[in-house]
């Protein structure tokens, strides 16, 4: 996805989260965005990955409000006494819809090519520190992911059990996280020197390409506006 489309999806999603007062409108918006993403993806793999992350992190939130949040009154009891709180259920669904929208935005940004993002920020002629902060943040995320993979393999090669049981995986988290954090910090000073030597931050970056709007961006914009429009209709309905 182009940085322009990702930025537009962020803007429209932020408006949906802040502006859609009813649960129905958020659900409508999320469903249309889901349809758009399904249409865009040539492979369903990233979509399944996003949905898996959404289920792992979002569903417990939903259950917590429906069953355990004492701020809502108990409406019924099921399976020998498990409380069900209807208001909590609606609130949980609303939180879940927001979470879904945020997941979609994260997914949209994860498909943006780093080089295109760099070119887009440079062609916007933003202050140099904004360009560097933006592009280096994305580059660092990529490096941390690569480093985490390398550390995982290195610890396994050292004989540290990193699976297959869930408990082993959980116990192995510090053995991966600590070296990744340390390496990132140690690497940062060396990387800063090397990039400063190449001239990063010394002056405004000269653009190679101009930011342009492609037909794909127009299609994406139409889908997002349609999603927002349907959500607005749902509010009125």
Partner 1 sequence: MLKINSIERLEPDGDWSQLTSGITLPGGSSLGVVGDCDTGKTDIGLLLSGLRASGRIRADIHLQNEGRLNDLRDLKRSRLTAFVPTDPYQCFSGMKETLRGEFHVGMQILGDVSRYAQEKVRKVVHAFELEEFLDRDPFTLSGGEAVRAGVALAAWKQPVVMVLDQTFEALHKSWMRRLRSALQEYLPPSAIIIETHSRVPSWSADWSHEIRLRPIRETEMRVQVVDPCCTTATSSAADYVGDVSTVLEADGLEFRYDRAPFSLGPINLVVRTGEQWALVGPNGAGKTTLAKCLACIIRPVSGNIRVRDRYGKFQSLPAHGWEHLWANRVRYAFQNPDEQLFRPTVRSELGLTSTTALSSKLLALATRLGLTAVLDSSPMSLARPMKRLVTLCIALGSGAPVLILDEPTALLDSNQAALVRAELRRFRRDGGAVIVITHDETIIGRDSRRLEMRSGQRVG
Site for partner 1, rule CB under 8 A:
113-115, 118, 122, 135-136, 138-140, 142-143, 146-147, 150-151, 153-164, 174-175, 178-179, 182-183, 186-187, 190-191, 193-208
Dihedrals φ, ψ of 82, to 5°?
-70, 120
Query: What value does the CA radius of gyration of the chain take, rounded to a whole number of Å?
Result: 22
CB-based contact 131:163 (threshold 8 Å) = no
Q: Considering the complex, state which of residue 36 and residue 118 has its C-beta at the smaller distance from partner 1.
A: 118
User: CB of 2: closest distance to partner 1 in angstroms?
Assistant: 14
CB-based contact 136:129 (threshold 8 Å) = no
User: CB of 147: closest distance to partner 1 in angstroms?
Assistant: 8
Helical spans, DSSP H, in the chain:
3-19, 23-40, 45-63, 86-110, 114-123, 128-157, 166-171, 173-198, 215-236
DSSP SS3 for 74: coil
User: CB of 146: closest distance to partner 1 in angstroms?
Assistant: 6
Q: Considering the complex, state which of residue 55 and residue 202 has its C-beta at the smaller distance from partner 1.
A: 202
Q: Considering the complex, state which of residue 22 and residue 184 has its C-beta at the smaller distance from partner 1.
A: 184
User: CB of 224: closest distance to partner 1 in angstroms?
Assistant: 26
Q: Considering the complex, state which of residue 49 and residue 77 has its C-beta at the smaller distance from partner 1.
A: 49
């Amino acid at each position: 996805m182009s940085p322009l489309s990702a930025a537009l999806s962020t803007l429209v999603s932020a408006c949906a989260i802040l502006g859609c007062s009813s649960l129905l409108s958020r659900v409508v918006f999320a469903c249309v965005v889901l349809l758009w993403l399904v249409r865009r993806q040539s492979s369903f793999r990233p979509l399944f990955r996003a949905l898996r992350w959404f289920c792992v992190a979002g569903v417990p939130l939903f259950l917590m409000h429906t069953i355990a949040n004492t701020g809502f009154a108990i409406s019924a009891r099921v399976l020998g006494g498990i409380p069900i709180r209807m208001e909590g259920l609606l609130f949980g669904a609303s939180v879940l819809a927001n979470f879904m929208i945020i997941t979609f935005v994260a997914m949209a940004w994860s498909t943006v090519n780093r080089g295109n993002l760099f070119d887009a920020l440079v062609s916007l002629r933003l202050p140099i520190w904004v360009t560097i902060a933006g592009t280096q943040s994305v580059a660092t995320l990529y490096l941390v992911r690569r480093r985490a993979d390398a550390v995982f393999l290195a610890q396994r090669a050292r004989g540290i059990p990193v699976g297959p049981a869930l408990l082993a995986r959980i116990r192995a988290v510090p053995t991966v996280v600590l070296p990744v954090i340390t390496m990132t910090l140690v690497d940062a000073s060396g990387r800063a020197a090397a990039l400063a030597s190449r001239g990063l931050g010394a002056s405004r970056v000269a653009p190679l390409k101009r930011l342009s709007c492609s037909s794909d961006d127009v299609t994406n914009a139409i889908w997002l506006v349609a999603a927002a429009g349907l959500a607005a209709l749902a509010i009125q309905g």
